[in-house]
Structures are given as structure tokens and as C-alpha cells.
Structure 1
Amino acid sequence: MKNFKSIFKGNLVLKITSLNAVVIAIRLVISLVIQRILAVTFGEVGIAKIGQIRNLMQIITSTASFGTFNGVVKYVSEHSEKKAILNKFFNTVFVFGFIGSFLSATILFFNASWITQSLFGNLDFLELIKILAFLPPVIAINIIFSGLINGLSDYKKYAKIELVSYLLSAVLLLVFLYNYQLEGVLFSIIITPILQLFVILYIFGSIIKKHINFKNIKVEIPFAKELLGFTLMSFVSSILLNYIELDIRTTISNKISTNEAGYWTAMTFISKNYMVFSSGLFTLYVIPKFARIYEGHVFKKEVLNIYKTILPLFGLGMLLVYIFRKLVIEIVYPNFLGLEPLFKWQLIGDFIRLAALVVSHQFLAKKMVKIFIITELMSLGLFYILAKYLVVIYGAEGVVMAHLYRNIIYFFIVLFAVWNYFKMQKSNIDYE
């Protein structure tokens, strides 16, 4: 027992993972209850529509902040004690946020009818999209502050934010569900960032003021070139991914059935619920840690340390999910009969993706824009092409098959890219 305690105390990866696990476990229980209520109330069709609005929110989250989140994490982790540098940096960040918010709001408002028709096949939720058009500034500020907190690696307080925000958003969703049915659920999803921002300001207000001197914020962009790289990476990894998911869901609805689209959406919800266990680790530990590693053997040692810590835990968790998949379906998505065959493909694909994501965060930590974009485009391209081909043959199961196949290929691509990066770094040092 003493030996375990000493290992736990000395392993920051395990600390963050375990604390994050407690928060996510609570979130998971709440999420399962909510998903069951939504599934029973609205069925496969309603779940598919909720999936559409969540994908749209992910796109707006990225565009509103102009993709600066990972850039904020990186630069804050590297210069947390250098106030002069951070002040200039946040000048650029807020200018980017203003540009992203303005463009997002304008596009949403003036294209609301087309967006609504594309997402839902009708104009029933047009007013919701118009309301969403006024929220990008809030979303941008929320993302900037979240990036600051992640960059400081204050994982204990960050866990509080995650938990409190989720609890409040869950209550909000249930209240609006009771009063306004599906439209209320969608509305609660789009205004959740407002709640998150209030929670961040309440818990982290003094720390935000300490690191961001709002009185000295100017309209200047000295870090524009550096942040544009993160904007490009965010466009590929977030915006393009969510657009592809939207398109695939629409394809399933049109070529197979809306019920099949609901099965796939339900599977992705389950996947995102357990994959979110890793999100805090990446932003709070992996990016800040990798940003300070410059030698291949040190990087390899750190990756193996992360693998030894988290892969067995995730592997066991995913195995349990597969073993009890029928129980999960019965509890969370009753009568979703087409959901069971999707589990094996999704779970194996997610496990391999987790292993690949640990390594690929080196691209974000070192702002390797070109390599990141190339590997992500290859990954998304493979997924899109395979999904479009296999969905016609296997229905929704074909999409999760595509998810597995592309992640196997992506893993080896990422390993080769990072190995080649350190090889070139060593060659440059030897040459000098």
C-alpha cells in the first residue's frame, strides 16, 4: 500500500488522470441518465438532431476563438511568469477572438435559414440558430480563459470548473426539456457556454486578472504569425472533423434511415463520454510537458510513461464497456436495437486513437503546423472516403468500421512523422 501511495504521489500523469476520472465518472453517471431520458423521449430521430446541434456548437467553438485554444495553452505554460510577454500575447489572442466572433456571428445570422435546412431538413429550429448567432463573443472569451487555466496546469481547480459547469448545464437541459421538449434541449445546449463562463469567472477570476492585464490590452497582434498556425490546426482538427460528422449523419439519414443515423450518433455519444477522460490529461499535462522536451530519447521516455499509466486503465474500461454493452444499451438507449454491432469497431478504434493522440500532441506542443495539417487531412480523408463507401454496404456499422481502419493507419503515420522530426533535430545539432 505504501509503495502504491509513493508511486501515486510521484506520478503527475496518474494524479491528473485519477482526479479527472472522479470528475468524469460523476459526469458519466449524469450523462447516462440524461441520454436515457432523451432516448426514451425523442427516440433515434431526436438523438440524431441533438447530434447535429452538438457538431455545430463544436464548429462555432473553434471559429469564434479563431482556433487559439491550444496556442494559449502552449504559450501560457512556457511563459507563465513572464508578464510582459503574456500581455503582448493576449493582445493578439483577443484580436483573434474578436475577428473569429464577428465572422462566426455574421455567417450564422445571415445564413441561418440555409444552416437550419441543412442540419434538420426543415426550418423548425430557425430561431435557435439566430439566437446562436449572438453567442460567439461569449464562446470566444470562454475558450481563451479555459486555455489560460489549462496552460497553468492547475488541474485541481480545473476539475471543479468541469464538474460545476456540467452539473449546471445538466440541470438547465432538464428544465428546458420539461418545459419546451426538443427545442428546449437544443436551446440549453447552445447557451451552455454562458454558464461555463460564469463558473470560470467565479472560480478563477483572481487568477485570470493576475495573468491578463485588461487595462493594458491593445489592438495589436505581435504574436499573429504564431497563433495563425494554431488557427489552421484548429480548422483541420475541429471544424473539418465536425463538418464531416454532420455530412456523414446526413448521408446515413438520406441513404439508409434517420434511425440508423440515431444509432451512430448514440455510439459517438457513448464514445465521447469515455474518451473525455483523456481530454484533461492532454491539455493539462501532455501539451505543457511536450512543449519543454527537445530530445528524442526524453520524448520517448515520457510517451512510454504516459502509455504505461493510462493505456491499461483505458483498455480495462473499454473492455468492461464491451462486455456489458447490452446492459449499457438497455439502461441508456432502450430499444436502440441497431446499436450493439457498433461497439466492437468503435471501442478498438478509440483505443488505437488514444495511443496515437498521445504522440500527435507533439505537433501541437511544438506548433508543427505543416505536419499536423498533413496527418490530420490524411486521417480525416481516410475516414470520410471509407465511411462514404462502407455506409452503403453496412449501414451505420460501416461508419464505425471506417473509424477503426483510419485510426490504425493514422497511428503509424503519426509515429513515423514524430520519429522523422527528432531524427532531423538530431541531424541539425550534429551538423552544427
Structure 2
Amino acid sequence: MKSKLKLCKTLVALSVINAGVMPAFAYTVNVNSSIPISSQVMPALSTANGALGTANGLLGQIETTLINIGTAVNQQGDRQAALIQQVAQTQQQFDIEQSRNDRLLKAQDRYRVADDICAQSVSGGTAGAAAAAAGGQRTLGSASTSKDVKAIFEVPARATDIDASTTADVHSQYCDTADYAAFGGTTFCPAVSDMPKADTSLSSVLYGAGEEGKAPDGTFTEKQSDAALRYTKNTALRSAGRQLSRGEVKGAAGRVYLGMIQQYQAMADAAAQPQLEMIANSKPNPATDAALADARKAPEVESFFQSFASSEAKRLNRMSASEFERFDVERRYSNPAYLATLNNKNEIDLQREQIMSTNLNNHLQLGVKEQLEKTNILLGQILSNEAYNAYKPMLAQQLQNVNAGVSRK
């Protein structure tokens, strides 16, 4: 910079001297070189330009680096935002699925029927078993393989002496020690039976025929059912007179006789109805199969079945309607495993069991009501029979008096 000032001063001084000495003329000056400019100014400018270029390059690199950092930061932010969104969506889906599973578990817990003694009830099959037993009353005779049992329901009424003789023949199958002592060895008592007095003992209908002192059987064998039907024949279906032939019915007396036989048979059928119903309810009933198999899935029920069920029920895996009903009652009343299970049950299971027990009690009460209705019918027939026996002779005597008075007039 000082060199440039010095050069300018020299040029001005020369111009002043020339102006004073010589006339003013204009001359062209050509400066071809300057040592200070060449040696100092220009290198300094080159150095400055190089530094500036270097600085610009550094600034460009810094800018590029900052741009890359910003881009990386933005990309990382996008990735984090996407990750956060994905996590939120996953959590939302998990919460939805968890809520759905909770609802399903609650529904299953509320409506399930588990394989335990507090959730199982054979009561659901009781109505079907009762209906099947009632429908089987009319087929008791035809279902038997014994000719004399079939004859009770299928053969027309025989004369009283023939009917009594047949009864004596049948009793040969049920001799006891007293019979054998009296006429043992004859055709009427060849040997002491394994079902003594089965045709003359009410226990044949109530508990099943068999050896004296045996435990009651809830489900009868075919032989036990036949013995019970023979007892019913001897007590409620005795013959009061033979059935007339087609020719005998044509006359007036025959029609009167036929009417009397029909009246008697109507009374006899009412008298036999309770026994026939009990026998039908004691026969193996296929309607019990499904409910019994379902209930026996619970270990407590299965163990009680083995201790409670009759031999025939165990053999067939099938119960009679009456044993089926008693089984559902007794497995709660006299089963220690049931009481132990109750102690470990939650509130919902206990409420369910209470409802089942209430339904069972309602079913039993309905059965009692139906039995009372049948009893009332029988009592009404007994009253009618008593009135008939009392008034028939009085009316006959009075009719004779009326006829006598009319004849005197």
C-alpha cells in the first residue's frame, strides 16, 4: 500500500516539474511493471484468495456436513415416529384382543358346564326318562319272554278256577322253605327258589325280587320285572269271570254279562296302575344313557355311581327312571365327595349348583303332586265301589217293593 502511495507522489512531482519548465504537453505513460506490486501485493492477494478458497471449501464441507446431519436427524425422527406409531398400534391391538379374551373367559366361566360335581346334573334327562317309562307301561307284557306274563295282558279273561290253577303253577318258580317243607318235590315246588315268594311279596314291586335280606335294586333285571308283574296279577288283576265268546254276546244276558266284565276290568286297571307304573319306572331306560354318561365324567360322580348303582345299572351303564332320579338326589345328600367339592367352588359355580338343586326339588315336588292326583282318583273309585256295595242291595230291595206295589194295584 505504501509503495502505491510512493509511486503516485513521484508521478505528481514529475508532472509539476514538467509543467513549470516546459510548455504543457500531454504524454502517454505506460507502466509495464511494479516491483512492489509484483513481489508483495500480488502474492498477498494470491494468498488471500487461496485462504478464501480454502475457507469457502471448508464452509462448503461444513454446510454439507450440517445438511447430512440434519437429514440424518430428520430420518431418525421419522423412524422414531414410525416406531412410536407402530408400538401404539401394536398396543392398541393387544388391548383389543386382551379385552376380547377377557369377555370370552367371563362368558365361558358364566355359561360353561364343567366336568365337576357342582356343574353336572342328571336332572336334565329325568323328564325324558319319565316319559319313556310311562310309554312303556303298556308294553310290559309284550316285552316279557314269559308266556304266563304275556297272558296277563294279552289273553282274554279266563274263568276264576282256571286263573287260580295257573297262579299255582306259576308259584312253583317262587317256592320258599315253608312251601318246600309242605309239598317240596312236587310239580308245585320242585326246589327252593332264589326269589322266594316273589309272586306274593310287595317287595318285588318296591325293591326287586331276590334272596331274603338282599339290598334294594333300583334297576330290575328281566326276571325281577316278571316277578313284579306276577305279584300285580295276583293282587290287582285277578279274574272275576271268563270272557264270553262271539255267540254268547248276542243275547240280552250276554250283553249284560259283557257290560259287567268291562266295569270290573276298568276298576281292576285303576287298582293295578300304581304297581304297573312302579314296575315300568324300575326297568332299564335308554333315555338315561346320555345324561348319565355326561355326569359320570366328573370323578366324584363316577365314584358315587360305583358305590350307589344297582348291579344291572352297572352292567348296562343304564339306569331305570326311578334309580336315575334317586341317583341325582343321593349324590348330593349322601356323597362326601360332593361336600368336599363345594368347599373349593367359586361363587358362580355355587350359584349354578343352587339353581340345579332348586330345579331338582321342583321336579320332585311336581312328582309328588302328580302322585296325589292319582291317589285322589283311586280314592274316588274306592268311594264309588263302597257306595255301590252299600246301595245296590238297598236299591234292589226297594225295587222289589215297588214291583210288589204295582202288582197289587
TM-score interval (norm. to shorter):
under 0.3
Give the alignment's TM-score, normalised by structure 1. Answer: 0.20
Give the alignment's TM-score, normalised by structure 2. Answer: 0.21
Question: Quick one: higher RCO (CA 8 Å, sep 6+), 1 or 2?
Answer: 1
Q: If each structure's helix is expressed as a fraction of its own residues, which one has the higher value?
A: 1
